[in-house]
Structure 1
Amino acid sequence: MTVLLFIGGVLFVAVGIALSIALHEVGHLLPAKLFKVRVTRFMIGFGPTMWSRKKGETEYGIKAIPAGGYVAMIGMYPPNPGDGSVRPSSTGMFQTLATEARSAAHEEVGPEDANRVFYKLPVWKKIIIMLGGPTMNLLIGVVLMAVLLMGFGTAQATTTLGEVNACQVAYGAPVPKDLANCMPTPAAAAGLQPGDKLVSFDGVPVTEWAAFTDHVRASAGKNVPLVYERAGKTVTTSITPVLTARPVIGANGMAEVDSSGTAVTVQAGFLGVGPTSAMVREPASAVLPAVGDSVAQIGGVVLQLPQKIVGIAQAAFSSEPRDPNGPISVVGVGRVAGEVAAMEQVPMSSRVATLLGLLASVNLALFVFNLIPLLPLDGGHVAGALYEGARRQVAKLFKRKDPGPFDIAKLLPLTYVAAVVLMAMGALLIYADIVKPVNLFG
């Protein structure tokens, strides 16, 4: 049964990612057709075509390698010099690459398509078409996040104790096997038990676990009154938090680590208790802030991508551990999805919620990644359109001749280099996710 659940989780996410890719391309397709650009092909995947059907002037199909997709629009680049639209430039290997790309872009352009080519569009239309794909991923992420937060809720700590540690152990150290001779935690010494509901600490009502934790951390060495409920009865006792090393918790709720991956700690009060958790549904107003937080976190990972990739390479080919907050490939995403689905001790609703959250994160990552202003990503095309608009405005300001469409084909050598780098990074991530996967569940 566990194996079937694992496979089911992988398939769930695989289908979800495939649909996300398809809708990403739909985000390009719809505005292109709206602006009368002739779209010749709408393909999901790369490589040999497994299935296709032509409807109107567009061929729709699925290819063998489910790693992306594309929308083919005629006239993506201006025509070659000699057609009178683009000034000739120097010859050489790079020029040959650009020339061949321009020729391919105009192979299917007929006389009737003179005003249906992409390169002749106004700048704002080009930007809308190229941003359509990432915007679709953002919308998918928002919808999935709304379903997750408003429909399933999020696991939040309650004021009821879920665990009471028996022994005082240095942070990060293993629990001793002989519990009889260890130093008891303040909570164990006070007789607290799992299931006890906290009422007040040091005279302050306990209504939120986070506020209670902050109060405890600030009360080291101080003997304070503690009130809790057990089996419907109110019990009053006293307790003294001990001063010990505790992890520094970041804004994301995770323990902070330094550059070497070691947890950052601070001396603070400690009782030795942990809360139970409950799923609490969030209002609609919580959705966009949650999406914003996720986008910001993903953006931070993207900005540190070169450093993260170096760390992944070091971990993949050595005994160093993987950074759990680093990027993972689709293989890693599938593995995480399978592990989540196979957790039979976790309620099914919680597993489904986690898988939906995983798909939401994938779509938000696609949104952020595709905005990188580097070809062949959508952000690279947007950057080219913005440059075209800027130089036309400068020419207009100085009453110069309109320079015409920007020939983005000149950047193809850089595009090929970037594509090779992206493929190499993807291959490294897949390899690392196979030989040393990220361990998110201990």
Structure 2
Amino acid sequence: MIFVAILIGILILGILVFVHEAGHFIAAKIFGVKVEEFGFGFPPRIWGKRKGETTYSINAIPAGGFVNLLGEVGDQGPRSFAAKPSWIRALIVSAGVIVNLLLAVIIFTILLWFTSFKTNFNLIVDNKFPFGNQENFILIAKVDPGSPAEKAGIEPGDKIVLANGQRFDSIASFKEFIDSSLGNKITLKLDNVTTNEEKEVGVVPRVHPPAGQGSLGVVFAGRGLVATVSYRSLSEKVFSGFLHAGNMLQYQFVVIGSLVGRSIEEGTPEPVAEQVSGPIGIVALISVIVGAGGIAAIESLVTVIALLSLVLAVVNILPIPALDGGRLAFIVVEAITRRKVNPAIERAIHLVGFIVIIVLFLLVSYNDIIKIFG
């Protein structure tokens, strides 16, 4: 089962990269650039068939895909990539990013449709999302066996909507409320973020809890807060996929900024290293989700796929040599200066970028292995 889950994780990553490359392929075909080969996975080749002017192949390493265009560097005739106007080359280079963005938006739209255009974010850092209506709630991650919380029917994943009719958006204020209610019954209105089950329970906080436990017998998730973001108006619902993608991106940048800030403040890369994962870490996460099974796992898996597609788009559009954004930067420079960059210089810059990316990939992969296997 573990092997199957890992294989599914690898295939999902591979398919997302393949979809990205398919964007380049479709754009090249539309603008009349000759596509010499369009492959799923990376060589060695397992199967290949030539149809028209293009060879379609399936390769042994299912970690993505590739598109070989005629004349990617150097002019080789009117149907070569290099011979096309800069705006066409820019569209072809950007097409993979556009397809990944659209895939993420479509998935988010479908998911939000099934959840009444409402979703939850476990807040690692404080954040105000730019789109939709946001409400912060306290999230329960664990319930101690035999505790008042367990006896009352409180479960992991429950968020506290109301406590005796009051709303709490910080752990500190909720703990003050509990401390003032020891030995007295309180009523909690709960909503489970996994099952979307709503319930109301009565629970009596203990005056003398066992060592290591709290009065209720619950452990809060991370910072203890979950943000519920809902898209309410007709326009928000119609464009919910785009708005949600914007919220996801904004939150990722806020989290990264916070982690980098902590690393600088503490003088160690550990805060970033603990949270950042590469392909190995992502496959491990997907395998855990697949192994869990059930409807909730399917929803989580689809959400991860959409987020990965979104991240893949953003990373690829960064102006880093060897990535789509780096190639796009050269095209923009050419369009502004009306002069093509020397192909040899461009190749050398992309090679350096590729080497840097490989080194970073190896470092992140090593970090993933350490986190997984200790």
The SS at the match of 1:120 is: coil
Given that 1:78 and 1:119 are in contact with CA atoms closer than 8 Å, whether structure 2 keeps it comes out as: yes
1:335 maps onto 2:284 in alignment: yes
1:412 maps onto 2:347 in alignment: yes
Using a 3 Å threshold, how does the CA distance of structure 1 residues 199 and 125 change in structure 2: closer, same or farther? Answer: closer
Using a 3 Å threshold, how does the CA distance of structure 1 residues 192 and 361 change in structure 2: closer, same or farther? Answer: closer
2:250 to 272, 296, 316: 296
1:371 maps onto 2:306 in alignment: no
Given that 1:26 and 1:133 are in contact with CA atoms closer than 8 Å, whether structure 2 keeps it comes out as: yes
CA shift at 1:154, angstroms? 4.7
1:31 to 2, 20, 27: 27
Using a 3 Å threshold, how does the CA distance of structure 1 residues 12 and 226 change in structure 2: closer, same or farther? Answer: same
Question: Where does 1:75-224 land on structure 2 (aligned, <5 Å)?
Answer: 75-79=71-75, 106=76, 114-151=77-114, 154=119, 194-195=152-153, 205-206=165-166, 210-211=168-169, 213=171, 215-216=173-174
Using a 3 Å threshold, how does the CA distance of structure 1 residues 322 and 133 change in structure 2: closer, same or farther? Answer: closer
1:381 maps onto 2:360 in alignment: no
Given that 1:44 and 1:63 are in contact with CA atoms closer than 8 Å, whether structure 2 keeps it comes out as: yes
Using a 3 Å threshold, how does the CA distance of structure 1 residues 145 and 116 change in structure 2: closer, same or farther? Answer: same
Using a 3 Å threshold, how does the CA distance of structure 1 residues 164 and 370 change in structure 2: closer, same or farther? Answer: closer
Given that 1:134 and 1:368 are in contact with CA atoms closer than 8 Å, whether structure 2 keeps it comes out as: yes
Given that 1:27 and 1:135 are in contact with CA atoms closer than 8 Å, whether structure 2 keeps it comes out as: yes
Superimposed CA distance per residue, residues 277-324 of structure 1 (whole angstroms, 9 cap, x where no aligned partner): 99x9965454333322322344567889999999xxx99xxxx79844
CA shift at 1:360, angstroms? 1.8
Q: Which has the higher helix share?
A: 2
Q: Could you tell me how far apart the structure 1 residues matched to 2:276 and 2:260 are?
A: 11
Code of the residue aligned with 2:359 in structure 1: it is: A
Using a 3 Å threshold, how does the CA distance of structure 1 residues 40 and 149 change in structure 2: closer, same or farther? Answer: same
CA shift at 1:228, angstroms? 1.9
Using a 3 Å threshold, how does the CA distance of structure 1 residues 39 and 199 change in structure 2: closer, same or farther? Answer: closer
CA shift at 1:8, angstroms? 3.3
Given that 2:178 and 2:205 are in contact with CA atoms closer than 8 Å, whether structure 1 keeps it comes out as: no
Given that 2:152 and 2:201 are in contact with CA atoms closer than 8 Å, whether structure 1 keeps it comes out as: no
Given that 2:14 and 2:65 are in contact with CA atoms closer than 8 Å, whether structure 1 keeps it comes out as: no
CA shift at 1:12, angstroms? 2.6
Using a 3 Å threshold, how does the CA distance of structure 1 residues 303 and 128 change in structure 2: closer, same or farther? Answer: farther
The SS at the match of 2:320 is: coil
State the partner residue of 2:192. none
Code of the residue aligned with 1:326 in structure 2: it is: V
Q: Could you tell me how far apart the structure 1 residues matched to 2:277 and 2:257 are?
A: 12
Q: Could you tell me how far apart the structure 1 residues matched to 2:218 and 2:180 are?
A: 17
Given that 1:42 and 1:60 are in contact with CA atoms closer than 8 Å, whether structure 2 keeps it comes out as: yes
State the partner residue of 2:372. 437
The SS at the match of 1:205 is: coil
Q: Could you tell me how far apart the structure 2 residues matched to 1:309 and 1:161 are?
A: 28
Matched residues, number: 324
State the partner residue of 2:187. 228
The SS at the match of 2:244 is: helix
Given that 1:27 and 1:133 are in contact with CA atoms closer than 8 Å, whether structure 2 keeps it comes out as: yes
% identical aligned pairs: 23
Q: Could you tell me how far apart the structure 2 residues matched to 1:306 and 1:227 are?
A: 41
Q: Could you tell me how far apart the structure 1 residues matched to 2:78 and 2:261 are?
A: 45
Given that 1:164 and 1:193 are in contact with CA atoms closer than 8 Å, whether structure 2 keeps it comes out as: no
Given that 1:39 and 1:57 are in contact with CA atoms closer than 8 Å, whether structure 2 keeps it comes out as: yes
Given that 1:37 and 1:73 are in contact with CA atoms closer than 8 Å, whether structure 2 keeps it comes out as: yes
CA shift at 1:194, angstroms? 2.8
Given that 1:376 and 1:418 are in contact with CA atoms closer than 8 Å, whether structure 2 keeps it comes out as: yes
Code of the residue aligned with 1:288 in structure 2: it is: F
The SS at the match of 2:82 is: helix
The SS at the match of 2:372 is: coil
Q: Could you tell me how far apart the structure 2 residues matched to 1:234 and 1:55 are?
A: 65
TM-score of the superposed pair, with normalisation by structure 1:
0.59
Given that 2:263 and 2:272 are in contact with CA atoms closer than 8 Å, whether structure 1 keeps it comes out as: no
Q: Could you tell me how far apart the structure 2 residues matched to 1:67 and 1:238 are?
A: 52
Given that 1:22 and 1:44 are in contact with CA atoms closer than 8 Å, whether structure 2 keeps it comes out as: yes
CA shift at 1:20, angstroms? 1.6
Q: Could you tell me how far apart the structure 2 residues matched to 1:133 and 1:378 are?
A: 8
The SS at the match of 1:342 is: helix
The SS at the match of 1:341 is: helix
The SS at the match of 2:33 is: coil
1:424 maps onto 2:374 in alignment: no
Code of the residue aligned with 1:368 in structure 2: it is: V
The SS at the match of 1:118 is: coil
Using a 3 Å threshold, how does the CA distance of structure 1 residues 239 and 385 change in structure 2: closer, same or farther? Answer: same
Give ranges in structure 1 of 5+ residues lacking alignment: 80-105, 107-113, 167-178, 180-186, 241-269, 393-402
